[in-house]
Amino acid sequence: MPKLTIDGIAVEVPNGATVMQACELAGKEIPRFCYHERLSIAGNCRMCLVEQEKSPKPIASCAMPATEGMVIHTDTPMVKKARHGVMEFLLINHPLDCPICDQGGECDLQDQAMAYGYDRSRYLENKRAVADKNLGPIIKTYMNRCIHCTRCVRFADEVAGVPELGAFGRGEHMEVGTYVEAALTSELSGNLVDLCPVGALTAKPYAFIARPWELKKTASIDVMDAVGSHIRIDARGEEVMRVLPRRQDDINEEWISDKTRHAVDGLMRRRLDRPWLRDAQGVMQRSDWETVLAFLATKLKTTAPKRIAALTGDLVDGEQIFALKTLMSQLGVTNLDGRGDEYGLGGDAGLAAAAGWRFNSGFAGIDQADALLLIGTNPRIEAAVVNARIRRRYLKGKFPIGLIGERPPATHDLTYHYEHLGIDAVVLDALLAASDGFAAKLAAAQKPMIIIGSQVFAHGGAIRRRKLMQLVEKFNLVREGWNGYNILHRAAARVGALELGFVPATGGLHGREIIKAAQAGDLDMVWLAGVEEFDRGQLGKALVIYQGHHGDRGAEAADVILPGAAYTEKDAIYVNSEGRPQAALRAVFPPGDAREDWKIIRALAGKMGMDLGFDDRDRLREMMAAYNPIFAAMGCLPPANWGDYVAAVKSEAARAVAEAQNPAPAFHHAMADFYQTCAISRASPTLQNCSRLFVRGEKIDDKMEAEAVYG
Amino acid sequence: MSTHTVAKPSDASEKFAFSAANQSEVQKHLGKYPAGRQASAVMPLLTLAQAQIGGWLTVAAMNEVASILDMPPARVYEVASFYTMYRHAPVGKHVVEICTTTPCMLRGSDKIVAACERHLGIKLGENTSNGLFTLHEVECLGACVNAPMMQIGSDTYEDLTAETAIAVLDLLAAGKAPSPGPQSGRHSSEPMK
């Protein structure tokens, strides 16, 4: 713990800290461009020069280790002059195009030139010109503006794990790019735009769209995957202009995936902004709330509860789930399921104990783990920012990684070396029997971890849970102070539905049975809350109610459409894979007649003369917290009782034996197309372009990119 | 406009493989470094590839080096574009490299450059249309005592004047081998008579 003096202030810093960190600890702001605390240290911009006593020259504080007894000055004439000089050098070749630059107003170079720069230029020579690079549909480049800090190169290399960027040439001829012209193939590439301290890398879909000072910023939660990334929604008027990451070290650090960032241009397209009702001729007609609610109230009252079912989809919020559940259980409906395509997660144990569906270690637990087994999951596309965390742990070394499941294709292969153990559940048996190879590595680990894709349980849930429980026992995955049993979900609504018990009530049908029953004509009403998986043909003659915000597959199958609010348009709670409930905040209002979803359900109950027990959101949230206490501790990682889950798995032994008779299918990829997974992302032109380029390998020309930019 | 070339995706689809003789050279270089540190051999391997191709590097060759060394291709491009002695465009049979660093410049290298340009009908950095010559300006090659000088292949020609430089080029064009070293009658760097 070295002690230093910074401008006369004594500070003590941890071993391995840099002079810059010591200065920050002393409350001194040090300007910088190349240094970023989550990237390796480059020390090439020289902006962070400070004066060290007994050193003849100023030192680059970002790269200088803090040592005992250093005396540092950050406010001497020498430091001021050094900053002036560096700034002047940086601006030799930087164009004066701030008025037309998308970074204007949030530009590190602009800000630091104001704060630390010289107020005039002494250069009359021509500035150098550099050809712009085409890095694909996400990133727009203006390479004239590049100051060669190499943050983008280091990010691609270290965090994203796609070492495609480089600094080519040298001296005045150095250029950042890909050398061979190609789009950057990373799910995290949008973060380069945030990292770039100047306007060299800007967001293509956001080009010339808005200025930062005219945007209303709302701190919220992302729903494009089950990570629950913290985001900032920037809106102007009634339109969401962009999404940026917020820092949350336990979840997304300060990254977000490209889908999280660029799905928002889907929010202004294909929206349901008024209720619709199918008339007697079978034609969908525009309607109004009064009519559809009256129609539904009558239908719900006159239909036998046994012949009603409700499913919730990937993007629904906690309030909606709980309101719908309350309505349905008061009506006596038992056919409920909120588990999406992981319906097989059902059965007793899958519903009984939270430890069986949560990411028990927490995402931050990955940093401590010392061996990892992935089962039926590809975190790179299912949870891109979690994958970045796994990669960081991998780069630290001594972290064997194994994969059971289909090998990911080269376009989105895992960004670390792994042992491919096999593709099906048979490998689990082999692992249970083995004492060498990967089994030995897992056994030797102090904090072993397995991450199981939620779709693993879609087939043979009970037998697989049993096998995994044996794995837990053999490798001691759950021990004092450590729970290495983790389920990674893909949909933001999934864990919320499980925590709120939106699962078949006693005697009720589960998801697959509901679809089968609807097809067979055994159901009269099916309520699809944001469910997009089924088309009309799969739902038979049942009256289909679609509650959601986009005109996607669900709305196409519907007889009644209740227009709801998207995640940017409501105050709502989402629970991420870890079981962490987080509150999203409303950034804009829903379009037209669309309403917040719990209000729609509340209004319908009112129409039916029912009392659901809540009239406002606060009361609804109180009821949710009363049902499950995790909702009383927003943002916290809740503890899960492992013993409950062990008991639950034991209790379904008979079912496991029965399931063992059927051959288990391999662990296939759950997600074929990272960019097109929900109604919002399918409506987004940017993500459609990404899908065409990166997934389907089609060529997108500049005209198409222009369409994505200007709509 | 900045000068270094950016390759087209089609460039990467060509094929390159080290010849049998070079394969063993590659193994020799790899053997110099401990396991896991084989990337240290990137420069000798690039040099081998450049020699095999005939004086310049294709994207395919750099990709092959990257795959042999288990490096991301971008890291190899970075090395190959940093050093000026790796070339990225086809060159003539004789690459004429004229030193223009201070000692040679003081001794009249500008005249040598002008004479060569005029004689060959090309500018610095260009190839003659018959594919015989490429003209380049280089930094100090360490023969300052005999400045001005130029290097062609692995030989240097020193104590040049415009006339002797052109005479060297003419001999090469005629398929003859000019005698390397001082062109002034000096033996090495003894005092001029």
Pseudo-torsion of CA A566, A572, A573, A577, nearest 10°?
A: 10
**Span of A404-413, A474-483, A685-694, B11-20 with lowest mean pLDDT:** B11-20
**Band of the pLDDT at A566, cuts 50, 70, 90?**
very high
Cα–Cα distance measured from residue A374 to residue A488, given in angstroms and rounded to the nearest whole number: 10
| Minimal CA separation from B83 to chain A, in Å | 8
Quote the pLDDT of residue A343: 61
Quote the pLDDT of residue A701: 66
Residues of chain A found within 8 Å of residue B6, distances taken between Cβ atoms: 131, 133, 175, 177, 179-181
Q: Inter-chain contact B59–A180, Cβ cutoff 8 Å?
A: yes
Pseudo-torsion of CA A642, A648, A649, A653, nearest 10°?
A: 160
Contact with chain B for residue A122, Cβ under 8 A: no
**Span of A350-359, A422-431, A548-557, B7-16 with lowest mean pLDDT:** B7-16
Residue A123, pLDDT above cutoff 70 = yes
Residue pair A423/A376 in contact (Cβ under 8 Å)? The answer is no
Contact with chain A for residue B5, Cβ under 8 A: no
Quote the pLDDT of residue A462: 84
Cα–Cα distance measured from residue A90 to residue A9, given in angstroms and rounded to the nearest whole number: 31
Query: Which of these, B53, B58, B109, lies nearest to B80 by C-alpha position?
Result: B58
Residue A424, pLDDT above cutoff 90 = no
Residues of chain A found within 8 Å of residue B74, distances taken between Cβ atoms: 163-166, 178-179
Mean pLDDT of A568-575: 96
Residue pair A664/A459 in contact (Cβ under 8 Å)? The answer is yes
Helix (H/G/I), strand (E/B), else coil: A52: strand
Residue B6, pLDDT above cutoff 70 = no
**Span of A31-45, A116-130, A133-147, A330-344 with lowest mean pLDDT:** A330-344
Residue A165, pLDDT above cutoff 90 = yes
Cα–Cα distance measured from residue A333 to residue A527, given in angstroms and rounded to the nearest whole number: 11
Q: Inter-chain contact B2–A166, Cβ cutoff 8 Å?
A: no
Quote the pLDDT of residue A411: 85
DSSP classification of residue A87: H
Number of Cα atoms under 13 Å in the Cβ half of residue A388: 26
Share of chain A above pLDDT 90, in %: 81
Which B residues 49-78 touch A at CB under 8 Å?
Answer: 59, 72-75, 77-78
Matching residue, tokens 């064009």:
B173
Could you report how far apart the first and last alpha carbons of chain A are, in Å? Answer: 56
Mean pLDDT of A195-211: 94
Q: pLDDT averaged over chain A? A: 92
Q: Which residues lie below 8 Å from residue B190, measured CB to CB, with a gap of 6+?
A: none
Residues of chain B found within 8 Å of residue A164, distances taken between Cβ atoms: 72, 74
pLDDT digits (tens, 9 = 90+) for A34-64: 999 999 999 999 999 999 999 999 999 999 9
Q: Tally C-beta pairs within 8 A across A and B.
A: 63
Q: Please, what is the angle between helix A597-607 and helix A318-331, to 10°?
A: 20
Residue A711, pLDDT above cutoff 50 = no
Query: Which of these, A576, A38, A532, A680, lies nearest to A317 by C-alpha position?
Result: A576
**Band of the pLDDT at A707, cuts 50, 70, 90?**
very low
**Band of the pLDDT at B117, cuts 50, 70, 90?**
very high
Contact with chain B for residue A348, Cβ under 8 A: no
Residues of chain B found within 8 Å of residue A163, distances taken between Cβ atoms: 72, 74-75
Cα–Cα distance measured from residue A422 to residue A101, given in angstroms and rounded to the nearest whole number: 50
Distances (CA, A) of A246 to A217, A228, A249, B77: 11, 11, 10, 35
Number of Cα atoms under 13 Å in the Cβ half of residue A255: 25
Q: Inter-chain contact B8–A165, Cβ cutoff 8 Å?
A: no
**Band of the pLDDT at B15, cuts 50, 70, 90?**
confident
Out of B6, B7, B74, whose CB is closest to A131?
Answer: B6
Cα–Cα distance measured from residue A191 to residue A201, given in angstroms and rounded to the nearest whole number: 10
**Span of A238-242, A346-350, A367-371 with lowest mean pLDDT:** A346-350
Type and span of the H or E element at A99:
none
Contacts 24+ apart (CB under 8 A), A123-132: A123/A92, A125/A92, A127/A92, A127/A93, A127/A94, A127/A95, A128/A93, A128/A172, A128/B2, A129/B1, A129/B2, A130/A175, A130/B1, A130/B2, A131/A175, A131/B1, A131/B2, A131/B6
**Band of the pLDDT at A708, cuts 50, 70, 90?**
very low
Task: For chain B, give the secondary structure using H, E and C.
Answer: CCCCCCECHHHHHCCCCCCHHHHHHHHHHHCCCCCCCHHHHHHHHHHHHHHHHCCCCCHHHHHHHHHHHCCCHHHHHHHHHHCCCCCCCCCCCEEEEEECCHHHHHCCHHHHHHHHHHHHCCCCCCECCCCCEEEEEECCCCCHHHCCCEEECCEEEECCCHHHHHHHHHHHHCCCCCCCEECCCCCCCCCCC
Quote the pLDDT of residue B13: 72
Quote the pLDDT of residue A653: 84
| Minimal CA separation from B28 to chain A, in Å | 28
Distances (CA, A) of A99 to A214, A660, A708: 15, 67, 23
Q: Inter-chain contact B12–A180, Cβ cutoff 8 Å?
A: yes
Residues of chain B found within 8 Å of residue A130, distances taken between Cβ atoms: 1-2
Interface mutation target, options B1, B3, B4, B11, chain A, most CBs of A under 10 Å: B4
Out of A157, A164, A169, whose CB is closest to B4?
Answer: A169
Interface mutation target, options B11, B13, B78, chain A, most CBs of A under 10 Å: B78
Quote the pLDDT of residue A324: 97
Residue A120, pLDDT above cutoff 90 = no
Q: How many helices (H) and strands (E) does chain A have?
A: 24, 28
**Span of B77-81, B162-166, B184-188 with lowest mean pLDDT:** B184-188
| Minimal CA separation from A182 to chain B, in Å | 7
Matching residue, tokens 């099916």:
A526
Residue pair A487/A452 in contact (Cβ under 8 Å)? The answer is yes
Q: Which residues lie below 8 Å from residue B186, measured CB to CB, with a gap of 6+?
A: B146, B159, B192
pLDDT digits (tens, 9 = 90+) for A70-86: 999 999 999 999 999 99
Mean pLDDT of B164-174: 96
Domains belonging to chain B, first-starting first, are 20-82 (1.10.10), 94-182 (3.40.30.10)
pLDDT digits (tens, 9 = 90+) for A84-97: 999 999 999 999 99
**Band of the pLDDT at A342, cuts 50, 70, 90?**
low
A95 C-beta neighbours (distance < 10 Å), count: 16
**Span of A335-339, A372-376, A605-609, B72-76 with lowest mean pLDDT:** A335-339
Q: Inter-chain contact A181–B4, Cβ cutoff 8 Å?
A: no
Could you report how far apart the first and last alpha carbons of chain B are, in Å? Answer: 48
Q: Inter-chain contact B78–A168, Cβ cutoff 8 Å?
A: yes
**Band of the pLDDT at A410, cuts 50, 70, 90?**
confident
Residues of chain B found within 8 Å of residue A180, distances taken between Cβ atoms: 6-9, 11-12, 59, 73, 77
Quote the pLDDT of residue A330: 96
Residue A320, pLDDT above cutoff 90 = yes
Interface mutation target, options A134, A176, A179, chain B, most CBs of B under 10 Å: A179
